[in-house]
Amino acid sequence: MTLTKVRANWTLQRFLEELKDKDEHFSGASEITLTLNGKTLDDKNKKLFEYGFKENAIVRTIFKVVGGAASDAPRGYPLDIAKWPKKLKPSKKECFSGSYELPSGRHHAEIPCCKSVTSAEASFHLLKNELFFRSAGELKCKFNSDCGKPISFGYYAWLSQLDPEEEESFRAQFDMNALISPNPELRKCPNEECGAYVQRPLSMPDVRVRCSQCLLYYWCWSCGGKWKGSNNLKCGNDDCDPLSFYYDLLVNCKTETISEIPNVPSIRLCPTCNTMIQWKQNCKHMTCVMCKHEFCFVCMKSWKEMVNHLGTKCEIFQY
C-alpha cells in the first residue's frame, strides 16, 4: 500500500492511525512493527523526522501475528443447490484449506478440474489475493498446487459468494489487471491525485520517467519514489532495492523457541503473498493476515498438506 502526503512532523502514533484508516489489514494483526532504513520505529510519541523520515521514504511493515487457525466467520453457500453452476458438485467434504468448518445445512463445492473441495470463504480469500495482491489478469485454479487450469472470473465470483458491491469492485480490479498484466512496461503514476497509467517506451532503457498526464516530477520506475539521482540509472533512494532489505532482515532477525523448537527465525515472508510476518506467541501454525494462507512458521510448508503437524518437530527452513 502507498500512503502519500505524509508529514515529517507527524508522530509515529499519527502515522499508524493513518495506516489503519487506509487499509483494513492493519487491524488484523495483533501488533505492527515499522522500519525505516533497516531501523525499527518503536516510540509512538517521536516525530517521523526524528527517525530520518524524508519525502518519498519507504517505511516497511512487519505484521506480528498470533499462531493458530483463522477465526473468520464462514461465507456459506446458498441452501438451494439447484442454482449451482452445472459443472460444480455440492460436497460435504472438508475444505482444501482445512480452515473453514461447514455450517449446518450448507455445502462446499467440488472443483471439476482437480476434484478439490473448497468453501466460499477460502475461495473469497484466494480471489482477493489474486486480484489485489498478485494483480492477476487471468485466473487459474489455486485449489490444488498441481492443477493451474484456467477458471473464469464469473466462476470464481460464484465460488466466493460475492455480494453485488464486492463483485463490482472485484470485476473492476480484474479488468484493470487484464489490461496491465500483459504489458510489463505499464505502471500507475505514484501521484495519488493523478491515478493515470504510464507506459514506458521500449526504447527507453533507464528507469527515470515522468507521467505524461500530471507532469508532477520524475520518478523511479522500480520503486516509485521521487527521482534524486544525478543520472538516469540510479534514483538515489536508499530503499530502492527491496530484495536486499528483505534478505538482511530475514537473515539477521532474532530467533525464538516455537512449538518447543529452538532457534527459529522470528520473521518470515508469507510463502504465498510475501507479506512480512513476525511471530509473537503460541504455536507454529500461522495464518497470513493478508491472503489467509496457512503455513508452518518453522518449516514454511503449507499447513493443509500436513497431518498431525502440531506434534511433529519439523526441520527449520533457513533463508
Range of the domain at 119: 81-180
20 inside domain: yes
**Are 278 and 204 in a shared domain?**
no
Cβ-based neighbours of 203, under 8 Å, separated by 6 or more:
none
1 inside domain: no
**Are 118 and 200 in a shared domain?**
no
pLDDT at 264: 92
76 inside domain: no
**Are 115 and 150 in a shared domain?**
yes
Q: How confident is the model at residue 205 (pLDDT cuts 50, 70, 90)?
A: very low
Burial 9-32 (b: 16+ CB within 10 A, else e): ebebeebbebbeeeeebbebbeeb
Burial 128-148 (b: 16+ CB within 10 A, else e): bbbbbbbebbebebbbeeeee
pLDDT at 63: 61
Joined together, the cell numbers standing for residue 124 give: 473469497
**Are 154 and 215 in a shared domain?**
no
Rounded Cα gap, residues 303 and 99, in angstroms: 10
Task: Note if the pTM is more than 0.75.
Answer: no
73 inside domain: no
5 Rama class: left (phi>0) / alpha (psi -120 to 50) / beta: left
Average pLDDT (60-77) is 58
Burial 202-214 (b: 16+ CB within 10 A, else e): eeeeebbbebeee
**Are 93 and 161 in a shared domain?**
yes
Helix 120-128 to helix 153-160 angle, to the nearest 10 degrees?
A: 130
Mean pLDDT lowest for which of 107-116, 147-156, 236-245?
Answer: 236-245
Joined together, the cell numbers standing for residue 293 give: 494462507
29 inside domain: yes
pLDDT at 1 over 50: no
Task: Quick: pLDDT tens for 117-169.
Answer: 888 888 888 898 888 877 777 888 888 878 888 888 888 888 888 888 889 99
pLDDT at 245: 45
**Are 228 and 291 in a shared domain?**
no
**Are 201 and 149 in a shared domain?**
no
75 inside domain: no
Residue with more model confidence, 299 or 28? 299
What is the percent of the chain where pLDDT is above 70? 72
**Are 173 and 223 in a shared domain?**
no
What's the total number of domains in the chain?
4
Last residue of a domain, one of 214, 238, 262: 238
Contact 217, 224 (CB under 8 A): no
pLDDT at 4 over 60: no
254 inside domain: yes
**Are 281 and 298 in a shared domain?**
yes
**Are 51 and 94 in a shared domain?**
no
3 inside domain: no
**Are 159 and 101 in a shared domain?**
yes
**Are 18 and 60 in a shared domain?**
yes
DSSP strands (E only) in the chain? 31-36, 39-41, 59-65, 89-91, 108-110, 117-118, 186-188, 197-199, 208-210, 218-220, 255-258, 261-265, 267-269, 276-279, 285-287, 294-296
Residue with more model confidence, 27 or 216? 216
